[in-house]
Every structure is written in C-alpha cells, then in structure tokens.
Structure 1
C-alpha cells in the first residue's frame, strides 16, 4: 500500500511549481500591503517578484494605492506650516523627533538578522552616515544596544569614513575592539607632533578614549608595555604617556589597587598568588602607609636577589608612586611634618 507523502511519517510533499508561485504571490502581496509600501526602497524588487510569479499588474497598482498613507507628504506639509513659527530651527526639531522615534522602534534582533543574511549594511545606513544628526542617532542606538552586530558594523563604517574624533565620547565605542584600536591609533598619531604647549590637550583626547572603562585601560597599558619592551631606552615618550594614564586613573577614580594590579600583571607577577613582593606592594597601596613589615619584605626580596645573584623582581613596582611615596614619607616625613617621628637608622637603611 502506498503512503501519501504528507502522511504521519512527517515528510511533506514538495510544492508544485504552481503552488510555489501562488505562495510567492501571497508573500509579495503582504509586502505591498504594508503602510506606505510605495515609499520603501525594496518595493521595486517586490513588484518584480510578484509579476514573475504570475501576479496581475493591476493588483500591484491597487495594493500600492490602497496602502498609501502619505506620511512623508504629511511630514513635509507640517514642516512647511511650522516653518514661520519656529523659523530656522524647524529642521532640527523634526530631525530630533524622527531620531527619537527611530530609537524607540528599533529592534536589534530584526536588524541583526537582516544584516547577517548579507553581511552588508542597509542602504539607509549608508545614506545616514554623511549627516551628523543621523550619525548621532546611530551612536545613541549603539549606547542602548551595545551587542548589536549591525550597529557595530555601522560604527566601524563611520570610523572608516573619518569620524573617529566625534566617537571618542561614546561609552559604547570601547566595547567594539576594532573601533577602539582605530581610536587609539588616531590619538597616538595626533600626539606624535605635539609639543609642550599642546601636549596636555592631546593627552586629554587619549585619556578620554582609554580611561573610560577598565577593559580599555588594561588593553592600552598592555600595548604600551609591549612597545616599551620592544623599544627599550627609546621608549621614553611612551613611558610618559603610560605614566599619565596611570596618574589619571589614580587621581580621578581613586582606585590605586587597579593600577598596581595591572602593573603587577604586566610585570609577570600574579596578584593574590602568595608572592611576598606583590603582597607587600598591595598592602602599602591599600593602606597608603609603608608598614615596617611590608618594607622589610620588599628589602629582603630585592636585596636578597642582589646578594645571591638571582633575578630581582621587576623594579617598576618600586617606581610606582603609590609604593614609593609612602616609603619616602616614612623616612623623611619628620623633616616637614612634626607628627612623624624620626626613623631609627637601622630601619631607614632598609627603607632607602
């Protein structure tokens, strides 16, 4: 006994050519029935598919006319009527209203789904990028939907078009690694010809791009550390930039532990791994005080390495201001602060 193809075995019969054409017609009719379908850039291809599937030309005209609502024409009419009232600010007011509507109705899942099909940005994104008001709309969308694939690609395209400078204020830009690298490279290029008169302005631009998030701060410090390792004595300029970034983090975020932890990691030491140098430095930074036990630990490690001929721990740890200043305060603080007692000579030798 023969079994129908669409029976309970779960296998459906393939559509005949006539059925396929009928389904295509129905799908295209739904597209042409959407409000103001005639204004959509894809309408021409939809009509072509409908006609190729055997649809009647008269139906396309009927569907497009019945679905026309004239929203664009009404917008132009309202703009024309409001012009005498608001003057030259009418365009910006309408643009802002449209921008808010776009942000409210944007669906990142739908946008990403369509983008992933072609891996090409929609034409309307390309048309928006030359205009600052619409670039700002994309920025605001990226702030709200930082995980959107399409918006990430749009930000990259905006950066490629030369608008990196206006992207530095975006909190979402550092989340996109490729964009952050572009921003970092541009900041460094701008700093290359800087002098003492404008170096602080250029540093400010770099700090804005780097110090917004812990992740970008870590990546930047890692890059600068690698450059210093490669250039050696020629890396004085990079070392100054590195110091400025660390100083900014300490002064503005009051998180010295973050700065020292990153420095320890870059030095090849594990934070919280039981290393006496790490523990002593972390304790000094945390307490903002150079306790005798912590200084003795540092002394034993560094001096012991010199005496035994072993490799000493990284000296960058001792150069860190959060470690060095408390030590100096303990040794010489009595010279400018009467509340600090003069240190015993045998202890001072270890501190110095």
Structure 2
C-alpha cells in the first residue's frame, strides 16, 4: 500500500515542472506548513481518550493524508486510551448491583456531568461551533429535559454566549416556552420573548387562584426583565382589554405587572397612565398620582376625586380601581386609629362604593345600598367593640361579609387589632375567638381573600405578644387550627410553604401538631407537589421518632409516598 501523499515534500521537489527559484520557494515553504499541520493532528491523536472523540475518524484521515503512518495512529490511540467512559459504566453497574435504581444512577451521573460542564464551560470556545452548521448533539440535548435545564442555567450565567442564546431560541421553537419563561435570555430576543409571553399569558388566564399565584412570579420576571419587554407586554394587554372590557383577569395581570415594575422604577406609573388615556382627565390623573406616590390620602385629593365622580357624565370607573388606591381608601376607613373628619367621611365611602359597584356602562343600581352598608360597618370598626359587645354584633357583621368590599374592610380591621401592641393582650383573651370566627366565614365565602387571611394569621403568629411561653404556645395552636381551616378550604400549597419556612424556627411540638391536624383530614390520592412539601416538613422534625400519639398516621403517609415514588421510577 502506498501511503505517500500526492503532495509530499519529495514529489514536490522531484517534479519536472518545478524549476528555478519557484522550486526552492515551494520546497522551503510547503513542507513547513505540512509538518505544522501534521504535528497538530498528532497532538490531537495523543489526547487522553482521543479514540472516543466524534471527530477522530476525520482527524485520522487528515493525519495520514499529511504523511502520517497507520501504525503510528494505532500506537497514539492505544497509548492515549484511559477508558474513563468505561470506568463510569463499570461504577454504574456496581451501583445497580448494590440495589440503587436505574433512575438514581442515571440522575447521579447526569448531575455530576452538569457540575463538570458548569465549572469548565468557556463561552468563547462554545461560540466557535457556529463556524459551521449547529452540531447534531445540540438537537439531542434539546429533546431531554435534564440537558435543557443545564442550558438554562448556563444561559443565566453567560448571557452573551452566542451558542447558548441560539440554543434557547431552538428550545423555544421546539415548544418549551413554559420552561424558559423565567430566563433573562427569554427577553433578549423578541422572537423568543413573544412566544414565551403569549404562551404564558394563555396559560395564566386558565388557572385557578393558587396556580395563578404560583405562575405569576415567573410571568412578571420575564415581562419586567427590560423596559422594552414591559412596554410591549402592557401594550398588548391594554389592546386586549379594550377589545374585551369585561376581561377582568387581563386587567388583574396588567395591574400585577405594573406593581412589579413600580417596585423597580416609579416612572412606570406615568407609562401606565398614558396607556389608559387618563390624561384626558387631568384632575383625576393629578390626584391619583399624588395618592399612589405618597401611599397615603389627603383630604384635598379625596374632595377633588369625589367632585369629579359626581359630575354628569362621570369619568370611567376604572381609574378608581387601582388595587393600591383601593387599599389606601379601605385602610383609612376601617382602621380604628384613623380619624377622618366627619364632614368628609362620606366622600371616602362614596368613592369606595362607586369603585366596587358601578359597572362599565355607568349603571348605579346597587350604589346606595352599598354606601349604607359601608357606613354601618365603618361605625362598628371605629367603635372597636370588646368582649360581649363584640359578640353581640357578630351576627350583623356576618350579614355584611357577603359583600367582597366589606369583607376586605373587616379583614383590615381584624388585621390591625391582631397586631396592635397596645391592646394585644385584651384582644387575645376576649376578642380573638370572634375574630377567628369572622376570618373563617370570609375564607368560606371569598376565595380571593384567602391569601390576605393567611397573611393576617401569619403576622399574628409571629407577633411578640409579651406573654409567658405556655400562653403563647396555646395561642399559636389556636392560630394553627385556623391555618389548617384555610388549608381545608383548598389553599393547600401556600399554607405548606408557610409551615415549611417555620419548621426550623418554631417549637417542634407546633409543627407536629400541624402535621397531625393535616394528615387527619386528608386522604389519597395526593398530588406530587403536596407529597413533596409535606414530606420535607415531616423530615425536618422526624415526628415518628418522637413521642407522637399519631405515629401510625405519619408512618402510613410516608409509606404511601415511598410506594408512589417507587411505582413511578419503574
């Protein structure tokens, strides 16, 4: 077999067409270039486990074409062989023999490889793959969720890497927009952002309240990543709202985005006003801007707003429905320590009633009844009754709880009293049972208020009551009973998140008490998320090893979770 390449140094020198100085230049230049290239491929052949490289067949051909010998190729590949991949396979086989499941072995290996890649990743080297067509292995990685998660993590750490940004676009094109919604890379390229935004929006409007809250944070993150993404998101939402005036879920999403962006830059408020055409009503724009900027009310601004909404025709009611504005007005009216001048009190009441009852077409059918109801409940909250006096008016408050705006007002009143350092001991001993009764009734009738109720109970639980440890323990058990009630109403995951955060901080007996209360009212089948969060809470305090009267209940739950996981891993 003739292994001499057609353009070897010898054939060049002996060529009859090579004469004079041109021959000397060729013999002096060409061999040096060929030797350099040959040395390069020789080094590649001697890299550890080079025989495992997907480029090795081409590298062997190039080396031989440059004058390399086949027996040298064999020697280089055999001497450089370490067998790291085979060692990994052997270790995996040993792990399986010890009883470790295939899934656990595969996950351990994949996680270790991820750690190595994250540590050694070089974005400049990664970008060189675009000197030719994208590699086939990239498409294979995109089809596997584990490797997609690696791409997401790398793209967050290396935002300017061309290869990773391209990979994220390919992932978006493949239909995994829901996975990349939280990535900053998703907002870098409009084509990616647009798909993620539309897909996330279509998903959000279909979710129930709990799922909505869980998905909303990721949606806000991707939309508020840059100024242009926020502006595009709000412009799209406003156009949809104009086409669908009764799309209150879209209005809520728009307001949630606005609140998120305002936490970063107050100029966002002005942008929202421009989109809502509030500039056509300069007095309203000025008053609402002042109220939201200062986060407090002034009598002058309230009077101006009241006068504007008494005109015929009045301005659009939507301008009064900013959540932060309503919260300020309700807090003023139902906080016992807020003293509104009697001659102007009706203006606060009118604005709240108007914003919650008047329809988009201007119908005021329930306005007068709502004003009367707010006046009665306001008088009760301002008088702040205690003990038997409070007990006597509970039936009246129960009647008004049916109205969402009044249930929210009563919530503000209860929240103030349960965290009032001046009267906390009196309210705990005399009023707390009645407050809890009202909270449970609100929880049953208004699902959207459950997050506020949970926040109120959490604040009361964490409040320093200045009591001895036994009294505090009993009060906190009562609070946990009411938190379990919220759990039983369907507010499951938010409650578990709170207890998980508390588990390492509070008295373990309280966590065990919660676990027992929950396991006593639930039964299979359980959701995967519930099992995961509940199991992690149980593991923090290990109630089985303690003096727990419900050990069997806990053991049965853990056994069920293990059986479920084992059946899914097969």
Pick the aligned partner of 1:117 from 120, 131, 134.
131
- CA shift, 1:71, in A, is 0.9
Task: Tell me the equivalent position of 2:484.
Answer: none
- CA shift, 1:211, in A, is 0.9
TM-score (norm 1): 0.71
Gap runs ≥5 in structure 2: 1-25, 355-570
Contact 1:284 1:290 in 2 (8 A): yes
- CA shift, 1:41, in A, is 0.9
Name the CA distance, whole Å, in 1 between partners of 2:278 and 2:32.
69
- CA shift, 1:186, in A, is 1.5
Contact 1:256 1:322 in 2 (8 A): no
Task: Tell me the equivalent position of 1:22.
Answer: 35
Task: Tell me the equivalent position of 1:234.
Answer: 244
Contact 2:44 2:50 in 1 (8 A): yes
Contact 1:36 1:67 in 2 (8 A): yes
Contact 1:38 1:68 in 2 (8 A): yes
Q: Aligned pair 1:144/2:148, yes or no? A: no
Q: Aligned pair 1:341/2:351, yes or no? A: no
Name the CA distance, whole Å, in 2 between partners of 1:207 and 1:346.
37
Report SS of the residue matched to 1:75. helix
Name the CA distance, whole Å, in 2 between partners of 1:230 and 1:139.
31
Cα–Cα, structure 1 residues 279 and 344, in superposed 2: closer, same or farther, change >3 Å? closer
Name the CA distance, whole Å, in 2 between partners of 1:45 and 1:180.
40
Name the CA distance, whole Å, in 2 between partners of 1:155 and 1:223.
20
Report SS of the residue matched to 1:102. helix
Task: Tell me the equivalent position of 2:92.
Answer: 79
Q: Residues 28-74 of structure 1: CA distance to partner in whole angstroms, max 9, x if unpaired?
A: 11222211111111111212222222322222222222221111111
Report SS of the residue matched to 2:105. helix
Task: Tell me the equivalent position of 1:285.
Answer: 292
TM-score (norm 2): 0.47
Alignment size in residue pairs: 320
Q: Residues 210-262 of structure 1: CA distance to partner in whole angstroms, max 9, x if unpaired?
A: 2125336862553343454477343543x632423424764999679465244
Report SS of the residue matched to 1:61. helix
- CA shift, 1:203, in A, is 4.0
Contact 1:37 1:64 in 2 (8 A): yes
Report SS of the residue matched to 1:166. coil
Contact 2:46 2:76 in 1 (8 A): yes
Q: Aligned pair 1:52/2:69, yes or no? A: no
Report SS of the residue matched to 2:339. coil
Task: Tell me the equivalent position of 2:377.
Answer: none
Report SS of the residue matched to 1:165. coil
Q: CA RMSD in A?
A: 4.4
- CA shift, 1:123, in A, is 2.9
Contact 2:41 2:62 in 1 (8 A): yes
Cα–Cα, structure 1 residues 295 and 16, in superposed 2: closer, same or farther, change >3 Å? farther
Correspondence 1:162-181 to 2 at 5 A: 162-170=175-183, 173-181=186-194
Q: Aligned pair 1:107/2:116, yes or no? A: no
Cα–Cα, structure 1 residues 161 and 222, in superposed 2: closer, same or farther, change >3 Å? closer
Contact 1:139 1:170 in 2 (8 A): yes
- CA shift, 1:158, in A, is 2.0
- CA shift, 1:263, in A, is 0.9
Contact 1:129 1:135 in 2 (8 A): yes
Contact 2:141 2:147 in 1 (8 A): yes
Q: Residues 137-177 of structure 1: CA distance to partner in whole angstroms, max 9, x if unpaired?
A: 22222232222211111122222223333334546544554
Contact 1:35 1:67 in 2 (8 A): yes
Name the CA distance, whole Å, in 2 between partners of 1:231 and 1:73.
60
Task: Tell me the equivalent position of 1:36.
Answer: 49
Report SS of the residue matched to 1:164. coil
Name the CA distance, whole Å, in 2 between partners of 1:179 and 1:250.
24
Q: Residues 104-141 of structure 1: CA distance to partner in whole angstroms, max 9, x if unpaired?
A: 111112112x13423x4333322322222222222222
Contact 1:221 1:242 in 2 (8 A): no
Correspondence 1:301-320 to 2 at 5 A: 319-320=321-322
Point out the more displaced range, 53-62 or 169-178.
Answer: 169-178
Task: Tell me the equivalent position of 1:222.
Answer: 232
Report SS of the residue matched to 1:163. coil
- CA shift, 1:318, in A, is 5.0
Contact 1:142 1:151 in 2 (8 A): yes
Contact 1:249 1:255 in 2 (8 A): no
Name the CA distance, whole Å, in 1 between partners of 2:27 and 2:154.
43
Cα–Cα, structure 1 residues 323 and 170, in superposed 2: closer, same or farther, change >3 Å? same
- CA shift, 1:334, in A, is 8.4
Contact 2:156 2:185 in 1 (8 A): yes
Point out the more displaced range, 211-220 or 59-68.
Answer: 211-220
Point out the more displaced range, 100-109 or 247-256.
Answer: 247-256
Name the CA distance, whole Å, in 2 between partners of 1:202 and 1:170.
20
Cα–Cα, structure 1 residues 40 and 256, in superposed 2: closer, same or farther, change >3 Å? closer
Task: Tell me the equivalent position of 2:519.
Answer: none
Contact 1:263 1:317 in 2 (8 A): no
Which protein has greater RCO, CA pairs closer than 8 Å, 6+ apart? 1
